[in-house]
Amino acid sequence: MAKNSIDAYGASGKTNVLFFDPAVLVLVVDESSPLYDPRVHLPVDEDLARNIDYQGVIEPILIQKNPETGAVEIVVGRQRVKASRLANEWRQARGVAPIQIPAIVHKGKARDALDIIVSENEVCQSDSPLGRAEKMRRLMAIGRGEDEIAVIFGCKVPTVRATLQLLECCSAVQKAVESGAVNVTHAKLLAKLTPDEQRGKVSELIAAGSSSTGHARSRAQRAVMGDKSPKIRSRKEILAEIDRAGPMSMRAEALRWVLHLVGDADGATA
């Protein structure tokens, strides 16, 4: 006779996992509800949706039934539900079976749900950049393509390439990225240098970033890498840069295109 799952795995117990069409699950938007989380209003994460479309929802969500309405409400897993709905739209267009979401019933009181909501997102440890790079390398070694790895990690292909470049760097660069002193984008550029050049340049980057924070730190480190051009963000800043570049320059023409001012050599607003 076949063993039951508890005996087969040597488990201490088991619970029921339910499966739902994500469309029937209720996202709580009532701010007075103990199940409300402001992140419910975040836009759908398309990278997460692609990951779910590829391999389904791996980690069950937590649900609770509203005793007044009978609705099945989400305690934990809002973003997974939203992304699953989008994934199912894509799957329907392709004519394939929809994703079902695994869910576990939250047995606690609704008023205590905020404890779980906070803990589920805050008490966690993200993988390090080097750890992500090594996992990407291993996936590539068993035949996964860059596009598949991007879906698995919930990112874009350029991010996969930049992360893998970290493995081409010397240990000094890897340690700097792990500590947060420099970012993965810097590592991608440093990977093109010789090991001695990498060590020298990463020391400059660390020194440039040690005395400043935020945008000032980013500008200082970009300057070390040879990028001294300012990051332009606002319309006012772009118009000022057009004036500095000269109305007939190629840079001004490109900036006018950004502001939909193509053909307006004076830089006036359209």
Per-residue pLDDT tens over the stretch 60-78: 999 999 999 999 999 999 9
Indicate the pTM of the whole model: 0.67
Distance in angstroms (rounded) separating the CA atoms of residues 136 and 126: 15
CA distance 61 to 74: 8
CA dist 40 and 25 (Å) reads 13
Q: Let me know whether 144 and 185 are in one domain.
A: yes
Is residue 154 domain-shared with residue 54, that is, in the same domain? no
Quickly count: other Cβ atoms within 10 Å of residue 109's Cβ: 9
**Which residues are registered as beta bridge partners of 105?**
63
Question: Is the torsion defined by CA of 132, 178, 165, 163 positive or negative?
Answer: positive
pLDDT, tens only, 129-177: 999 999 999 999 999 999 999 999 988 999 999 899 999 999 999 999 9
The domain spanning residue 18 has which CATH number?
3.90.1530.30
Where residue 176 sits, what CATH number does that domain have? 1.10.10.2830
pLDDT band for position 263 (50/70/90)? very low
Tell me what pLDDT residue 223 has.
Answer: 84
Write down which residue in 208, 224, 240 finishes a domain: 224
Q: Of 122, 150, 169, which closes a domain?
A: 122
Total domains in the chain come to: 3
Q: Do 94 and 173 reside in the same domain of the chain?
A: no
Domain end position, chosen among 122, 150, 165: 122
Q: Indicate if 43 and 118 belong to the same structural domain.
A: yes
Q: How confident is the model at residue 195 (pLDDT cuts 50, 70, 90)?
A: very high
Whether residues 241 and 265 share a domain: the answer is yes
The answer to whether residue 23 sits within a structural domain is: yes
